[in-house]
Amino acid sequence: MTHFADMIEGYRRFRNGGWAEQRERWEQLAEGQSPKVMVIACSDSRSEPSQIFDTNPGEIFVVRNVAALVPPFETNPGRHGVSAALEFAVQFLKVEEIVVMGHGLCGGCHAALHRSMEGAEPGRGGFIADWIGVLDEASAEVRAAHPDIDNRDAGRAMEMAAVRVSIANLRTFPCIEEKEKRGSLKLRGAFFAISDGILHVMDDATGEFAPA
């Protein structure tokens, strides 16, 4: 298992290897960033966007959270971390594409499907329950279509449904809706299957996923 001491050793390898080899690139990045793509991904340690897409530093603007969720646009007081990141990426970095990438064996989607966090207190699952409440409607639809929610088909259906929910919620943001209509911003859905390493891309017209 990797601990912080192991990570420091990794940093030293990076500093003497990757950083030194891309010294010119890092000097450019010190002046600013201009990624064209924003990726919204899950916090799961097995689903690392920069590794999956084999990108270099500065190429993708990444936000990670439980189940790669985007809540709908809201203006009520509170801490809106995902909304703030979206606002920064769209309005200031002017990204041209937003990719929502779900993944297989997602714990947040499993909890949403099985409603295993319902009624939990904050600090004991309650924060998770509130967060994945974004998927309540989609979860009910998956349960209705899959009597046996313990099988992998139901799990994958929930994970892919979560991507669709986040794509739909992205379109509730006025700045995103406006830019998408103008053609200056494209929304994309993706799903990474941990078990076989295959990336699936969502067809925007049908909502169905197919291997990239």
Per-residue DSSP letter, 88: I
Inter-residue long-range contacts of 60-64, CB under 8 Å, 24+ positions, other chains counted:
60/35, 61/33, 61/35, 61/37, 61/85, 61/89, 61/93, 61/95, 62/38, 63/38, 63/39, 64/40
CA atoms within 13 A of residue 103's CA, in its CB half-sphere: 25
pLDDT in tens, 145-183: 999 999 999 999 999 999 999 999 999 999 999 999 999
pLDDT in tens, 102-118: 999 999 999 999 999 99
pLDDT score of 163? 98
CB 99 within 8 Å of CB 129: no
> Does pLDDT of 2 surpass 90?
no
User: In one letter, which amino acid is 63?
Assistant: V
Q: Which domains does the chain have, with CATH numbers?
A: 1-32 (no CATH), 33-211 (3.40.1050.10)
pLDDT averaged over every residue in the chain: 96
Per-residue DSSP letter, 72: P
**Two tokens, residue 64:** 């990670």
> Does pLDDT of 42 surpass 80?
yes
Comparing 173 with 1, the larger pLDDT belongs to 173
Q: What is the pTM of this model?
A: 0.95
pLDDT score of 1? 65
* Distance, CA of 194 to CA of 203 (rounded, Å): 20
CB 42 within 8 Å of CB 65: yes
> Does pLDDT of 9 surpass 70?
yes
pLDDT score of 18? 85
Comparing 188 with 17, the larger pLDDT belongs to 188
pLDDT, mean of residues 122-143: 97
